[in-house]
Structure 1
């Protein structure tokens, strides 16, 4: 790792104080900081182009911001097979697990090869409208199907490998990777999974059923979710909290493991379960 790309959400790093700290640290340990020709001026607007610009010039991308910044960076970086490390300038930061005061130590670990690169599974989604393929997308965290600004219950028929599983009335369903198990899925009551696992988590959102629970499928399964034909209003498919697609009654989405993976650099001293406790359980005790 010699050339280190830097992506910053300047709404999180006012005045680029931590970005400059990172640049100085990279240079101190003999590396080269690679920055886009223009810096993101409004939060994450234009970030996709900036990531694509530096991917061909660096061995690693370090992004400064919250998990949203990390996800948006990763959705482009995976196309170039570039690993990513996140510095947390947000709140919980499950993906951006390097804290502000750990920047220098993290950079030192990188140049001492004291790290591992985890390949995390992604999900591939195909959205069908009127029986025809309407859109394709990939997700690092999750795909959700939810009500599009209405108060009526959304009825979603769920299939596993084309076998009917159940009808879920409620606010929707979130389908998550293990990486995404600590995001929307967890908030909806889903289980937490070790992020390097290979499985698919399906969690109903505010289900109107007493017995409704999350379920976990193996990575080989294909999940199909159909909006009830009697549902005349619009529903919303949201991918990684970044992209939205409108669907309605009779439309459906197919979700399965993607052939692609995203590479995440982890400092070896950072254990997932320790990070989990520090960010959730210890915070509850404060």
Structure 2
């Protein structure tokens, strides 16, 4: 790799100083181009860069993944927060080694699956420009109602189950260590291809997550008699309001997110290290 874009989260302390330091290190190692972007990464041309380094946390990398969807540019996460499951470096001591390996082409690229989500209202699908992408998860949950909501789940058109819960999380393997984990769902190797359905605070003894094939199409339907306003949230970046009778259709996206993995450390070893930091 020789051409880099540093995608900066200005909300993180010392982010600008860190970006300037990383830029100088990359140039000293022989990088041909190191640009810094801190606002909107959408529209970046894949042929202009070999790699995008995100400086922030998991949320910064996810935001970059959505903006770069379809470009093919791999992402490397540098963590400036407390804990980043998607990042490869979290301290000043780790960063130089990561940069050296990137310049030396000593890395592996993992293609992470993404999800598509569309709202079906009154039997009509939302326009194509309202098809949302998610790298982590799609969450359907209550917005204004005081109590739990009824959700009916269908898989490939067949009824699966009905939940009375605060919400439903449909997660990718990458997102399994995020909201899914907090709600009691399983941790999955991020390079795998599958989806995980996890209820949020279900009002039932049946609380188990369900792991499904990546190619399965899930539908989360809110019964027409359900009052109040619910919402469909896509990676915490886009939200659509839902009413009774609305349905959210979720499927595997044709887009993937290429994420750089440094060194030969396995996912389980990385997970053990992250969990020990809690």
Q: Same fold (TM over 0.5)?
A: yes
Q: Which moved more, 1:10-19 or 1:232-241?
A: 10-19
- Matching of residue 191 in structure 1 with residue 186 in structure 2: yes
Partner of 2:35: 35
Q: 2:230 maps to which residue?
A: 235
Residue 52 of structure 1 aligns to a residue whose secondary structure is coil
Q: 1:94-113 alignment to 2 at 5 Å?
A: 94-101=85-92, 102-113=94-105
Q: Distance in 2 between matches of 1:91 and 1:174?
A: 24
For 1:114 and 1:91, the matched residues in 2 are separated by 26
Q: How many angstroms does 1:229 deviate by? A: 1.3
> d(CA) in 2 for partners of 1:91 and 1:239?
23
Q: How far does the alpha carbon of each residue in 1:156-214 deviate from its partner, in whole angstroms, 9 at most, with x for none?
A: 00011111011010101000010110011111110000001111100000000012310
Structure 1 CA distance for aligned equivalents of residues 15 and 149 of structure 2: 44
Of 241-250 and 15-24, more deviation after overlay is shown by 15-24
Residue equivalent to 1:151: 146
Counterpart of 2:109 in structure 1 is: 117
Q: More deviation in 131-140 or 236-245? A: 131-140
- Partner residue of 1:4? 4
Moved more, 263-272 or 3-12: 263-272
5 Å-filtered alignment, 1:48-59, equals 49-53=40-44, 55-59=46-50
Q: Which moved more, 1:265-274 or 1:132-141?
A: 265-274
What secondary structure does 1:25 align onto? helix
TM-superposed CA distance for 1:150, in Å, is 2.8
**Maintained 8 Å contact 2:163/2:199:** yes
**Whole-angstrom distance in 1 between the partners of 2:269 and 2:12:** 25
How far does residue 51 in structure 1 lie from its aligned partner after superposition? 4.7
The offset of 1:271, in angstroms, is: 2.7
Per the alignment, residue 43 of structure 1 pairs with none
**Distance apart, 1:247 and its partner CA:** 0.6
Describe the SS at the equivalent of 2:43.
Answer: helix
What TM-score comes out, normalization by structure 1 length? 0.91
Q: Report how far residue 50 of structure 1 moved.
A: 3.5
Q: How does 1:1-286 map to 2 (within 5 A)?
A: 1-14=1-14, 16-36=16-36, 39-40=37-38, 47=39, 49-53=40-44, 55-101=46-92, 102-134=94-126, 135-280=130-275, 282-284=276-278
CA contact (8 A) 2:145 2:227 kept: no
Quote how far apart the aligned CAs of 1:279 are. Answer: 1.5
CA shift, 1:73, in A, is 0.6
Q: CA deviation at 1:76?
A: 1.3
Preserved contact between residue 34 and residue 57 of structure 1 (Cα < 8 Å): no
How far residue 33 of structure 1 moved from its aligned partner, in angstroms, is 3.8
Equivalent pair of 1:34/1:54 in contact (CA under 8 Å): no
The runs of at least 4 aligned residues of structure 1 exceeding 4 Å deviation read: none
Q: 1:233 to 1:264 in 2, by over 3 A?
A: same
Gaps of 5+ in 1: 41-46
Shift of 1:56: 4.5
- Give the direction of change, closer, same or farther, for the CA distance of 1:248–1:15 in structure 2 (3 Å limit): closer
> In 2 relative to 1, CA 233–15 (structure 1 residues): closer, same or farther, beyond 3 Å?
closer
What are structure 2's unaligned runs of at least 5 residues? none
Q: Give the number of the structure whose residues are more often helix, by fraction.
A: 1
